[in-house]
Structure 1
Amino acid sequence: MTSTYRVQLTPDLGFREVARLVGYLRDLGVGRLYLSPILQAVGGSLHGYDVTDHGRVRAEFGGIEALRALAAEGLPLVADIVPNHMTVPQPESDNAQLWSALRDGPGSPAARWFDMEWPVALPVLGDDPGGLVVDGTVLRYYDHVFPIRPGTEHLPLPELLEAQHYRLVNWRESPGYRRFFDVSSLIGLRVEDPEVFDATHAVMLSLVGEGVVEGLRVDHPDGLADPRGYLERLRPHVPGPLWVEKILIDGERLPDGWPCDGTTGYDALNMITRLFVDPAGRDALIETFTRHTGVPGSYEPVRYEAKKHVIELFFRGEVDRLVDALGDDALREAAVELLAAMPVYRAYVDPGEQPSAESLAVIQAAARQAATRADADAVAKTANLVMYGPAEAVTRFQQTCGPVTAKGVEDTALYRWYPLAALNEVGGEPDRFGVSAGEFHAFCAGLAPTTMTTLSTHDTKRSEDVRARLVVLSELPGEWAEAVGAWSGAVRFDPRLDYLAWQTLMAAWPISAERFTGYLLKAAREAKTSVSWQSPDHGYEAGIARFAEQAIEVCGPAVAAFTAKVDRYARVNSLGQKLVQLMMPGVPDVYQGNEVTDFSLVDPDNRRPVDFDRRRRLLAAPGDSWDGQKLLLTTTALNLRKRLDPAAPYEPIEAGEHAIAFARGDRAVAVATRLPAGLERRGGWGNDSLMLPPGRWRDLLTERRHTGRILLGHLLSRHPVALLERAPNEER
């Protein structure tokens, strides 16, 4: 495994269109083509995680024959699979298994597919419950269609509703089924059931067996009842790469015994970002943030309040089912506080098994914190039950931790506490400003050669180059405070949103008012401080649009000037983080289009069409622009990875405060500039140098030859990065 290139399939970018990109991707140096979900999904879906039929390859992409034709182009395929959930579509009849379960209830063979409570609550009704119509054997509610239980078709409407295996409730209520996070339109699957596993995986595993698909990326394994058991069932069918989308908080590792090749790389992403952050800017950035927003300077209280908020807002039904499993209604408060205190997405306790030392430590630490906010005895009892109690209690707690953390942290706290938004990534810790080269080297020493690394994905909150600009603020906190003070003095709207808006406007510049407004609307709704997805406020949202337009119109020239100054250093960060990611241990993934600069924001902004024609032209003649340099670096590193043993040892090289350097075995050396503004302030490299490993080395970016100890000012005089190779037959 050398590298992957992630493509977001859409109705406009199906298998035939991707097949026409294979030549370009091969020239780029890509090792494997990594596809978003390929099974039948809701018509028009731009992401594919809303699967409706596991038995078909998506027709909008060209179906199975077009997929086979893509595979025949010769670039091995990795596909994203979604075992945790499928969609509740409109009309509901588009999901045959769900339709059967709703019509026939617990007696339906399809009922075992879903984690339901009967009669199952379906949150679809608007605030005005009118609109229900009986139409033969179906019940219609605007675009919704529900099956009527056989034999009840002729009952009066009130009695008919009472006779169904489901009950229709207000759209704000919790559903009577496990779902994906708070998304009631995505219903959880019980893939722990062998029959459900077989039915939902038959097509995908047949494609693997046929050789059409070589490897798989497993979406959201933390949602499953038994992630390890799922992987143990899946692994024998997948001889190629098998990655899991597992979010690891700092210092956390994959549980022992998971039969997979590693994660999709958020742990690497966050470590790389921190490597380019100057910790000296921490206090000044936090002071500027608190002054503009009024938010506390400590992250942890914000994180706690956000988790408590989403538990009450979204997860009352999930907590109800957990408390029922615990067997004691008096434990509700303790259960809520334990969920809020969990520091990671899941502790991986399996019913009937002795928890690992790591799992015990996580839950016990959470219990100590929860005991400061709820009855200590109740917390202790709850913690004991979720480790050693009934199987349902153990499993429900595990399956609830992830959604609470995802919604409470990713989709709430990270939109409320953002002194440096570059740190507010999935799995990130926004109060950890920077890591040293030594800390980064230690992290790399623990990485498996098969795990995936990444800098941008379809789920990142901002692209790698947006982050490359933002981390510069850690080196220019005074200049930033002055600039944002002037902008906010000229245009203002909501203090809890404006400061994030100014960071975003600068880091994504130039950006249209439409894109900027779309981002701010999502950010405000996720923060849930003034407006939310559940509680829209048309006046407030119109105010966001006016603010976005005025910010660009009034402050655009000043933002552009500040961004131009930032870009002197952001280009250095952009190239440096790209080199580090492509050459560190693991299998590097390039997200579509990010072989050149990309200043996209959170989805759907980061799923816009990519101009591959421009990239083809640039690959033929990269030139010396930022885009050209990034593309040259990317293609050079990807092609070098093809010549490099994936398990080549990672060897740190001492390079001083302003560089990160390492060797991969005796074949490759990577050197990248860090903290470029500080380097400029100190007057450049001076006498800083590094010692190359034995042998004669060629910088693949400049064609210069080097050996022994070399001055960094000489090595990095043309580019802020260097990528050196020693030929296999070169004398050492």
Structure 2
Amino acid sequence: MGAAENGANAAKVEELLGALAEALARGEGVTPRPASTYRLQLHAGFGFDAAAALVPYLDALGVSDLYLSPVLASAPGSTHGYDVVDHARLDPELGGEEGYARLAAACRARGMGILLDYVPNHMGIGPWNAWWMDLLENGPSSVHAPAFDVDWTPLKSELANKVLVPVLGDQFGRVLERGELRLAREGGALAIRYFDHVFPVAPRSVPLVLRHGIERLREALGPEDPSLQELESICASLEKLAPRSETRPEAVAERAREKEVAKRRLAALCDASPAVRAFVDENVAAFNGTPGDPRSFDLLQRLLDAQAYRLAFWRVAGEEINYRRFFDVNALAALRMEEPRVFAEAHRRVLALLRDGAATGLRIDHPDGLYAPAAYFRRLQACYLAERARALAQARGTALENGAEALLLERLFAELEAGRLPARPLYVVAEKVLAAGERLPEGWDVDGTTGYELLAAVNGLFVDPAAERALDALYARVAGGRQDYRRTVEEKKRQVMSSSMASEINMLAHRLSRISETDRRTRDFTLNELTRALVEYVALFPVYRTYVTRRGEVDARDRAYVEATIARARRRSPLVDPSIYDFLRDVFLQRYPDGLPEAARGAWLEFALKLQQVTGPVTAKAVEDTAFYCYVRLVSLNEVGSDPGRFGTSADALHALLAERRARFPGSLSASSTHDTKRSEDVRARISALSEIPGELRAAVSRWGRVNRAHVRRLEGRTAPDRRDEYLLYQTLLGTFPDGGLTPGTPAHAEYVERIQAYMEKALREAKIHTSWTHPDEDYEGGVRAFVAGALASRTFLRDLGALAERAARAGRISSLAQVALKLAAPGIPDVYQGTELWDLSLVDPDNRRPVDWAHRARALEAIQAELARGPEARRALARRLSAPDALAGGEAKLLLLAEGLRLRRRERALLLEGDHRPLAAEGPQAGHVVAFARTLGGRAVACAVPRLVVRLQDQGGGAPRWEGRLPLGGLAARWVDVVTGTVHRGEAPALAELFADFPVALLASE
């Protein structure tokens, strides 16, 4: 490109940047922050058109933005969409491009936005994923090899330039000799089939099949036959292809082109020549061998050995797999989003939706899995602005050439870095789990998180801290001794690192060993010593990951975590040479010794970047998918983002969190139930209420142990269930027991038993104590299934269970309303999970993805709106009627509160998105049972007051809390209106009895 052309491009880009800056200053192109979101789980049975049909109902509910599970093409039959197989297409099973266009139009017609769940960290792999199939066919020489995080030089030399694919149901030799691996011809391509799996045959190995016994064909046709010559020519062209270790771009492109030419030629030859077709198909049959004749499979093994993949027994994945996965899920391969071309290809379709207004924001799934999250979010914002700039250029009739495109993106990065453009023009929230006391990294160009930290804090408000000792004693009795949660997490991290993620740890340890060998002061560290130190470090690391940058920068936050963890590991490992931990610390914090060569510094940095991609998955598997099912003191605390070792949340701690949220990330979602929560908000609230009656819980657990003893199965040296699993079951039943009870022999009873059995099976396997996903123990699982069925068939047990469950539910319903009110008024954006506008007693997925009765909810909302339309007195009467103790079980009170709160969010959008957070303190003997705060902006105010720990108050009031005391409102307004009841409150300190007279919670707006 000449200097003149460069100059013209630069001038064009600068002009475009000026126009973009002016548009952004007018608010054009800055995606609006939602007032609220409503999450829908899409799948083949509930796609885009079904979602569009709900838009009128959700609009009437007050929702501002639809929040959709992943919409890009996923593996056929996917029920969640996180196994994306094609970033360029909208999922045809959901309705494809046309269906999505109808949904977007329905939302646009009602002024609603669409928040999309986007998955950058990984893809679903299989025959539907063209990128993955190309990788398997061509190895490092694949056009798409840069997309996947594959270690092409792994510890096992036999896997050099190969991908380990652990899909076989048995040892490789047994599978092969049973004839389960079959070679097949599909047109001009050869493939290996294993039941539903398909694996391409590497181009350079195809001649092994085509040339096998070719003398027969030569004798039959004669050496001058054109068909024979074409076949030999095809073989020669394939043999001349660059080897799969070749990664030069021009060689990769030539290989990709020529292999497809050869496939077309072979297909045409087989169509044109019956003799060649018969010869090739006979060879295919010969390669497939004969079961019972082991030597007949030698040909197929030789062919398989020549591939860019190695098929293996699925159980070897934990130790030998050499592609990075999503956690330990073999079917989800991690992507290298740090590569600009990979990023561009993976985001092209979703950025076009955002550019065209068919989507208005993104929820980014699992950014902790990314190589460099901060850089990813900066690139996402820059590429979004690039799309806006292209749209401006098109409107002006200006064309951007390739050189100008690259320059535009470069300049956008610079403008964002310098702060001359809005830092977050695109609304983005990150699914980031924050440990207790952890803050979201400063350098992320996001509006906030998906809200796990708020969920955990609000959830803890309804746990009585005074009950901790009593529940500790009860849990010690059922668990057979005291169990420390932090030690449990450390133990489970070690378990994960020695099993499902052993390969990742082995890879890191060998990297560290190679680094140690480069310095005479560290070369005597043995591999075993380094591995032990690494495992200890990861086991003790207190958060999911650090964020060392690709430039080797380590911020103060991460430095403090690393230093503290190294110090603790050193204390815990008296037999390990302390200097090993000093070495590990220095490598991670990039403290290079004098004279370290540049290449060695690169190895240090690469180790640090790889290590922080491993600590997150290890922690997630050990905590959310293991420890949460092993440590069951009070399982309402076992929630994503929570620390079950911390017994509840104080009001002061909640206010501190809300104040920081308002100051730093007010665009965060305020979630209470999500597709990832272990229990719904309503189940958690009911279980938390048990903390207020620990004596009753202890007595009930003792009674039920005696009543159900006959259902316990005696196994060799143990019982099924053991006492801890039985205690988990009782908490689960108390949290999910249907309002109105159960009658054995009815369909509802059978469905409930099946749900609980399915949950317990998942819980047992996740705990990995008596059984697991990889090694199921049918005897133990069968014993627990029988126990659940036997216990729930007993009318005596059901009556006793139902009585305590209803006692917990009465308090839990009040707590659930309080959670809704808090998230409606708190800094952040209230997020509603599908169906939870009424009571929802769901457990972890797939239980929380059961079909929702939308018609029932729509009818209930219409009835409420009809009553509200009758005027103020009807409004107040409706609120009283729906929230009366006997009527609360219906759930319409929750729907009423949510609908009125969401409408308030629409009316007071700026106030509730940007307003200050002011804690309010109640006065009087019940002050500790009230949490309250106000939001203020420009002379307007909204106040929220909710009860907590209400069991004793209900007992004293004969079912409904009896209130004493007042709530000073800080002189913010002289007159307030309760948005639910319509009640007008005057004065600066209304009585609590007045605030909660007509409804269990108060959501007030100043007049």
Name the TM-score, length of structure 1 as normaliser.
0.97
Distance 2:461 2:759 in 1: 27
Deviation at 1:55, TM superposition (A): 1.1
CA contact (8 A) 2:552 2:605 kept: no
Residue 360 of structure 1 aligns with an amino acid whose one-letter code is R
Distance 1:343 1:62 in 2: 43
Secondary structure, counterpart of 1:428 in structure 2: coil
For the structure 1 residues 143 and 686, does the alpha-carbon distance in structure 2 shift closer, same or farther, using more than 3 Å as the test? closer
Secondary structure, counterpart of 1:497 in structure 2: helix
For the structure 1 residues 551 and 304, does the alpha-carbon distance in structure 2 shift closer, same or farther, using more than 3 Å as the test? same
Deviation at 1:107, TM superposition (A): 1.0
Matched, 1:699 2:978: yes
Residue 725 of structure 2 aligns with an amino acid whose one-letter code is L
Deviation at 1:295, TM superposition (A): 5.1
For 2:781, the equivalent position in structure 1 comes to: 541
Distance 1:9 1:168 in 2: 33
Deviation at 1:128, TM superposition (A): 4.2
CA contact (8 A) 1:468 1:574 kept: yes
Deviation at 1:232, TM superposition (A): 0.4
Matched, 1:565 2:565: no
For 2:310, the equivalent position in structure 1 comes to: 167
Matched, 1:250 2:250: no
For 1:105, the equivalent position in structure 2 comes to: 139
Secondary structure, counterpart of 2:59 in structure 1: helix
Distance 1:299 1:483 in 2: 25
Distance 2:181 2:57 in 1: 53
Distance 1:572 1:126 in 2: 50
Q: Select the structure that is richer in helix.
A: 2
Distance 1:237 1:70 in 2: 25
Residue 106 of structure 1 aligns with an amino acid whose one-letter code is P
| Worse-matched range after superposition: 435-444 or 154-163 | 154-163
Distance 1:695 1:586 in 2: 26
Deviation at 1:686, TM superposition (A): 5.2
Deviation at 1:98, TM superposition (A): 0.7
1:73-222 aligned at under 5 Å gives the runs 73=106, 74=108, 75-89=112-126, 93-117=127-151, 118-129=161-172, 130=175, 131-136=180-185, 137-153=190-206, 154=208, 156-174=299-317, 175-222=321-368
For 1:66, the equivalent position in structure 2 comes to: 99
Deviation sequence 1:594-643 (CA, Å, 0-9, x none):
11110000000001111111111111224613311100100111111112
Secondary structure, counterpart of 2:967 in structure 1: strand
1:337-416 aligned at under 5 Å gives the runs 337-374=536-573, 375=576, 376-388=578-590, 390-416=604-630
Deviation at 1:283, TM superposition (A): 1.1
Residue 893 of structure 2 aligns with an amino acid whose one-letter code is Q
Deviation sequence 1:36-57 (CA, Å, 0-9, x none):
0000011111100011111110
CA contact (8 A) 2:632 2:724 kept: no
Residue 474 of structure 1 aligns with an amino acid whose one-letter code is S
CA contact (8 A) 2:904 2:979 kept: no
Deviation sequence 1:301-349 (CA, Å, 0-9, x none):
1111111111111111111221232225341111111111111111111
Residue 181 of structure 1 aligns with an amino acid whose one-letter code is F
Distance 2:963 2:129 in 1: 66
For 1:47, the equivalent position in structure 2 comes to: 80
CA contact (8 A) 2:496 2:502 kept: no
Within the candidate set 645, 649, 652, 1:438 is matched to: 652
| Worse-matched range after superposition: 681-690 or 386-395 | 681-690
Task: Return the index of the structure with the highest Cα Rg.
Answer: 2
For 2:951, the equivalent position in structure 1 comes to: 677
For 1:690, the equivalent position in structure 2 comes to: 967
| Worse-matched range after superposition: 691-700 or 256-265 | 691-700
Distance 2:91 2:999 in 1: 44
Matched, 1:335 2:534: yes
For the structure 1 residues 350 and 324, does the alpha-carbon distance in structure 2 shift closer, same or farther, using more than 3 Å as the test? farther
| Percent of aligned pairs sharing the same letter | 43
For 1:730, the equivalent position in structure 2 comes to: none
Distance 1:409 1:691 in 2: 42
Distance 2:916 2:659 in 1: 9
CA contact (8 A) 1:209 1:237 kept: no
Distance 2:322 2:312 in 1: 10
Distance 1:196 1:551 in 2: 54
For 2:897, the equivalent position in structure 1 comes to: 633
Residue 894 of structure 2 aligns with an amino acid whose one-letter code is K
Distance 1:133 1:386 in 2: 47
Matched, 1:489 2:706: yes
Distance 1:618 1:685 in 2: 29
Deviation at 1:372, TM superposition (A): 3.1
1:591-602 aligned at under 5 Å gives the runs 591-602=833-844
Distance 1:295 1:417 in 2: 12
Deviation at 1:272, TM superposition (A): 0.2
Secondary structure, counterpart of 1:690 in structure 2: coil
For 2:214, the equivalent position in structure 1 comes to: none
Deviation at 1:674, TM superposition (A): 0.8
Distance 1:520 1:241 in 2: 39
| Worse-matched range after superposition: 290-299 or 456-465 | 290-299
Q: Gapped runs of 5+ residues in structure 1?
A: 728-732
Distance 1:445 1:682 in 2: 34
CA contact (8 A) 2:62 2:903 kept: yes
For 2:57, the equivalent position in structure 1 comes to: 24
CA contact (8 A) 1:287 1:297 kept: no
For the structure 1 residues 616 and 370, does the alpha-carbon distance in structure 2 shift closer, same or farther, using more than 3 Å as the test? same
Distance 1:88 1:192 in 2: 20
Distance 1:544 1:595 in 2: 33
1:456-475 aligned at under 5 Å gives the runs 456-475=673-692
Matched, 1:663 2:663: no
Deviation at 1:151, TM superposition (A): 3.0
Residue 830 of structure 2 aligns with an amino acid whose one-letter code is P
Q: Gapped runs of 5+ residues in structure 2?
A: 1-33, 152-160, 210-298, 385-424, 517-526, 591-600, 713-720, 739-750, 865-877
Aligned Cα RMSD in Å?
Answer: 1.5
Distance 1:214 1:517 in 2: 41
Secondary structure, counterpart of 2:198 in structure 1: strand
Residue 945 of structure 2 aligns with an amino acid whose one-letter code is V
Deviation at 1:490, TM superposition (A): 2.2
Distance 1:252 1:676 in 2: 31
Residue 834 of structure 2 aligns with an amino acid whose one-letter code is Q
Distance 2:777 2:647 in 1: 35
Distance 1:296 1:403 in 2: 28
For the structure 1 residues 166 and 353, does the alpha-carbon distance in structure 2 shift closer, same or farther, using more than 3 Å as the test? same
Secondary structure, counterpart of 1:184 in structure 2: strand
CA contact (8 A) 1:285 1:474 kept: yes
Deviation at 1:682, TM superposition (A): 6.5
CA contact (8 A) 2:933 2:945 kept: yes
Deviation at 1:704, TM superposition (A): 1.2
CA contact (8 A) 1:699 1:705 kept: yes
For the structure 1 residues 689 and 316, does the alpha-carbon distance in structure 2 shift closer, same or farther, using more than 3 Å as the test? same
Deviation at 1:519, TM superposition (A): 0.3
For 2:593, the equivalent position in structure 1 comes to: none
| Worse-matched range after superposition: 324-333 or 480-489 | 324-333
Distance 1:363 1:169 in 2: 37
For 1:299, the equivalent position in structure 2 comes to: 485
Residue 563 of structure 2 aligns with an amino acid whose one-letter code is Q
Deviation at 1:279, TM superposition (A): 0.3
